[in-house]
């Protein structure tokens, strides 16, 4: 008899539901790679498990395989050498539909139970996942462990909590009774059933393959939908491990593992577009470029499409009560994982006349120079710097850095840095440029990677206006403001609300604008072009199922 995973993890689920309602800090997964949390040998075991994957086929035993694919290169300078089964959609999709027959009938508790057990098992693999994420994305080990493991698992669990909250609003059955005056009341017995939409397609990115994919993947799974996971060709392994783990949980639960499948492909294959237009695909979750995201929104008409696309994240500096703290905070935000994050700041707006600080008034040039110097100070020690910067995920970003030097006066140049452990790693410091507010064609677009501008504006009012227009016209997920003036902070809050962007005010300590906390922060509002839905919230999960009913006289 398969184990009842819903009952096993019921308390965990309730804690997660409570967390999304209270929106304070909570996490069941230890974010530090501590032997106390994961075991004395967890790191070495995880590293060996990762290394055992290299230079051999990754076996998933899926139907419809037609050859192999795989061309992953570690940003730290070596080939992974892993091949994956190349799926033939015309053979794979019928197998998925067959698997759905019993899965759809299993019901919410079974679906949620499988999702919860999968997340627990993935947490046990956090060290293996860390090395897989590190050597596909270029994240440094600590970020790869946290963002690729516990934080991604938090986002998956957060999605399951929203799913359960929405599905459990509707009772399984009820007695409907309508008074009829002197006559006997009308009585009906009504039954309600949660019905999945069909097949979900999760299209992943190459920089945060688990963190960005787990919300959609686990929202689909927990609402009874099958899931096709389509990784980016440059970062397949983390999601292959994920799919392998979930398929084992499905099998242990007595279900056909083909409920969750992997579709790996090469860089020149247009698999995503082909799958996205199949009539069986009813849900699509996408993270990536605006070009591909907008194509899905416009063409995949048979599906509900959720996208997270490019954005131009602004910082407005009006004044500050802690100039050094502001500079340190911005330098770290611009350097963390070489700004290869959808939440990293790009456009820093500063009045041409300068800003007020406790040390006196700083001119625009002084503010720009201080931020550049802050980056240099942060990255002055190579051993520390590479743990902040990580490595550049792909060659396209390197070319973008070189081309961006022509867009403004260089404040801090991007330079290569030798990694102490990996001599061929692609490590670069951030490029910081100066620009004028009139040069919008240069900076009012996403330049993904370690590229940022300090932009001279007429005044703070223009800074806020440009931040607002940038978000509305080009998308943004984060916005930061520095001011000692309450009226300016209120104006920034109004602008952020109008732009549908998450606002951070006066960050000078250990919280950074590019960080987003599961169960508390709303990552994406769905109110500007960067994302067409809040990831995660009730609206993100409610479209993934429908309620069917039957009734009869009592």
Average pLDDT over residues 215-241: 98
**Alpha-carbon distance 454 to 7, whole Å?**
54
Residues 321 and 273 reside in one and the same domain:
no
Q: Answer yes or no: do 64 and 205 share one domain.
A: yes
Domain CATH number, residue 77: 3.40.605.10
Residue 186 covered by a domain: no
- 443 and 506 together in one domain: yes
Residue 466 pLDDT class (50, 70, 90 cuts):
very high
State how far the Cα of 202 lies from the Cα of 230, in Å rounded to an integer: 6
Residue range(s) defining the domain that contains residue 199: 10-170+195-283
- Per cent of the chain over pLDDT 70 is 99
Same domain, 259 and 151: yes
Q: Grade residue 534 by pLDDT with cuts at 50, 70 and 90.
A: low
Q: How many structural domains is the chain composed of?
A: 2
Residue 402: exposure state from Cβ atoms within 10 A (0-12, 13-18, ≥19): exposed
Question: Is residue 553 one of the residues assigned to a domain?
Answer: no
Q: What is the mean pLDDT of residues 173-181?
A: 96
Of the candidates 283, 303, 336, which is a domain's last residue?
A: 283
Rounded CA gap, 405 and 15, in Å? Answer: 49
Residues 6+ apart with CB under 8 A from 39: 45
The residues with which 307 forms a beta bridge, in sequence order, are 286
Residues 358 and 221 in one domain: no
Q: Per-residue b/e over 196-212, b at no fewer than 16 CB within 10 Å?
A: bbbbbbbbbbbbbbbbb
The span from the CA of 346 to the CA of 80, in Å, is: 32
Nearest to 551 by CA among 189, 48, 209: 189
Q: 120-161, pLDDT tens digit by residue?
A: 999 999 999 999 999 999 999 999 999 999 999 999 999 999
CATH number at residue 319: 3.40.309.10
The whole-chain average pLDDT of the chain stands at 96
Question: Same domain, yes or no, for 271 and 320?
Answer: no
Burial group, residue 54, by CB count within 10 angstroms (0-12, 13-18, 19+) = middle
Q: Is residue 187 part of a domain?
A: no
Of 283, 302, 330, which residue constitutes the final position of a domain? 283
What is the per-residue DSSP string for 90-145? Answer: HHHHHHHHHHHHHHHHH-HHHHHHHHHHHHHHHHHTHHHHHHHHHHHH---HHHHH
Whether residue 460 is contained in a domain is answered as yes
Is 208 among the domain residues? yes
482 and 386 housed in the same domain = yes
For Cα atoms 88, 92, 93, give the angle at the middle one, nearest 5 degrees. 120
- For residues 88 and 143, what is the distance between their CA atoms, to the nearest angstrom? 35
Under the banding of pLDDT at 50, 70 and 90, the label for residue 2 is confident
Please name every residue paired with 281 in a beta bridge, in sequence order, or none if there are none: 199
- Specify whether 318 is located in the same domain as 265: no
SS (H, E, C) 352-398: CCCEEECCEEECHHHHHHHHHHHHHHHCCCHHHHHHHHCCCCCHHHH
Residues 279 and 318 in one domain: no
Task: Based on the fold, state whether residues 110 and 245 are members of the same structural domain.
Answer: yes
303 or 536, higher pLDDT? 303
CB atoms under 10 Å from CB of 32, counted, come to 11
| Together in a domain, 264 and 356 | no
Residue 329 lies in a domain: yes
Query: Where residue 537 falls among pLDDT bands split at 50, 70, 90?
Result: confident
Give domain status of residue 178, yes or no. Answer: no
Residue 182, in any domain of the structure: no
**Do 277 and 318 have their domain in common?**
no
| pLDDT of amino acid 315 | 98
Task: Give the pLDDT score at 535.
Answer: 67
Q: pLDDT tens digit string along 17-57?
A: 999 999 999 999 999 999 999 999 999 999 999 999 999 99
pLDDT digits (tens, 9 = 90+) for 381-437: 999 999 999 999 999 999 999 999 999 999 999 999 999 999 999 999 999 999 999
51-71 residue pLDDT tens: 999 999 999 999 988 899 999
């Amino acid at each position: 008899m398969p184990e009842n995973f819903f009952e096993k993890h019921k308390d965990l689920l309730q804690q997660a539901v409570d967390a999304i309602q209270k929106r304070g800090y909570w996490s069941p997964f230890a974010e530090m790679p501590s032997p106390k949390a994961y075991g004395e040998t967890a790191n070495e075991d995880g590293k060996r498990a990762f290394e055992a994957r290299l230079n051999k086929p990754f076996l998933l035993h899926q139907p419809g395989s037609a050859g192999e694919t795989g061309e992953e290169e570690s940003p730290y300078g070596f080939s992974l050498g892993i091949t994956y089964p190349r799926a033939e959609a015309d053979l794979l999709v019928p197998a998925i539909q067959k698997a759905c027959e019993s899965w759809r009938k299993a019901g919410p508790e079974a679906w949620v139970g499988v999702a919860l057990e999968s997340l627990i098992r993935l947490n046990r693999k956090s060290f293996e996942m860390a090395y897989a994420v590190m050597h596909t994305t270029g994240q440094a080990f600590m970020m790869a462990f946290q963002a690729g493991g516990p934080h991604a698992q938090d986002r998956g669990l957060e999605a399951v909590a929203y799913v359960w909250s929405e599905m459990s609003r509707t009772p399984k059955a009820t007695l409907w009774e309508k008074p009829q005056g002197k006559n006997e009341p009308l009585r009906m017995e009504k039954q309600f059933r949660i019905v999945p939409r069909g097949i979900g397609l999760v299209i992943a990115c190459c920089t945060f393959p688990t963190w960005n994919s787990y919300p959609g993947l686990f929202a689909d799974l927990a609402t009874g939908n099958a899931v096709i996971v389509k990784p980016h060709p440059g970062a397949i392994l983390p999601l292959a491990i994920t799919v392998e783990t979930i398929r084992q949980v499905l099998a242990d639960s007595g279900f056909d593992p083909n409920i969750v499948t992997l579709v790996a492909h090469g860089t020149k294959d247009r698999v995503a577009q082909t799958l996205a237009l199949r009539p069986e695909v009813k849900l699509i979750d996408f993270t990536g470029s605006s070009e591909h995201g907008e194509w899905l929104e416009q063409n995949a008409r048979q599906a509900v499409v959720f996208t997270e696309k490019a954005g131009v994240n602004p910082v407005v500096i009006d004044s500050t009560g802690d100039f050094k703290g502001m500079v340190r905070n911005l330098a770290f935000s611009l350097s963390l994982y070489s700004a290869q994050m959808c939440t990293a700041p790009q456009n820093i707006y500063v009045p041409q006349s300068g800003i007020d600080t406790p040390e006196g008034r700083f001119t625009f040039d002084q503010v720009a120079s201080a931020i550049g110097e802050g980056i240099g100070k942060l990255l002055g020690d190579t051993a520390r710097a590479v743990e902040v910067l990580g490595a550049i995920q792909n060659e396209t970003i390197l070319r973008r850095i070189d081309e961006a030097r022509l867009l403004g006066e260089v404040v801090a140049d991007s330079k290569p840095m030798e990694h102490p452990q990996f001599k061929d790693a692609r490590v670069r410091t951030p490029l910081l440029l100066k620009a004028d507010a009139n040069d919008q064609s240069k900076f009012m677009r996403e330049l993904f990677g370690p590229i940022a501008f300090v932009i001279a504006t007429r005044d703070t009012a223009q800074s806020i206006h440009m931040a607002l227009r940038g978000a509305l016209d080009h998308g943004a997920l984060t916005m930061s403001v520095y001011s000692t003036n309450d009226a300016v902070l209120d104006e920034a809050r109004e602008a952020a609300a109008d732009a549908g962007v998450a606002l951070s005010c006066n960050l000078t300590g250990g919280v950074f604008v590019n960080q987003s906390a599961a169960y508390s922060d709303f990552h994406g509002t769905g109110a500007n072009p960067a994302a067409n839905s809040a990831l995660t919230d009730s609206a993100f999960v409610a479209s993934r199922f429908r309620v069917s009913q039957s009734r009869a006289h009592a």
